[in-house]
Amino acid sequence: MRINKTVRTPASEQIPQIMAEMQTAAETLQHVGWGVSVFGSARIKPDSPYYALSEELGRRLAQARLPLIAGGGPGIMEAANKGAFNAGGTSIGLNIKLPREATDNRYQTHSLQFEYFYSRKATFFMHSAAYVALPGGFGTMDELFEVLTLVQTRKVPPAPIILMGESYWAGLFDWIRDQMLANQLISPHDLDLVTISDDVDVVMQQIESFCADYAEHLGQTAILPTE
């Protein structure tokens, strides 16, 4: 068994830094408006079709004048930031130093630094009108299931939750249906919280339609920026 030698920081020291990170993020993003969060693995290589899919998504979000929010690292995050950045859009990176994310990607118009996952994830959820998850590992699953829980329990406003990478996600959702739903641990309508599609047109149509229909509900006169 490998022993984790990380030193635990007392809560009395963590809380002020977490609050400071959230405050800095709120001040930085207050004029940006609602964005679309994109989750996915740092391990995906640039020659992967998932990298290309994420980059195309970022480009399309920029063309729709929707801010893109990603984790700021390599892989899927870099691809999404790159697509938005190169298309002249708002490309936000919520950066955190991790073993496989030693450097932030360079495709960011707004770059925020985090020490704690708590404040980083809270920033995603406080500034997003939609969420897209591409293939990823434990971190991506953590982000996906937390946003599912928050939307399911109405702790955040309703929002599209879209999974791109149909073959990657199919087995997970078969298990959710066969185990969670079959054992009545979730409700049938909970499955409706998620759309699975590799078609960028379908993804963008759902996001833009939602933003247009629910702008007032989400607390502003328009989610889609105006000229």
Token pair 């993020």 is found at: 25
Measure the CA–CA gap between 68 and 59, rounded to whole angstroms: 9
The beta strand positions in 42-193, using DSSP E, are 68-70, 91-96, 110-114, 128-133, 161-163
- Quick: pLDDT tens for 56-94: 999 999 999 999 999 999 999 999 999 999 999 999 999
pLDDT band at 221; cut points 50, 70, 90: very low
Q: Which pTM value belongs to this model?
A: 0.90
Domain boundaries, the chain: 31-213
pLDDT at 216: 61
Q: What is the dotted CATH code of the domain comprising 31-213? A: 3.40.50.450
Angle at 31 between CA 27 and CA 36, to 5 degrees: 100
Higher-pLDDT residue of 142, 219: 142
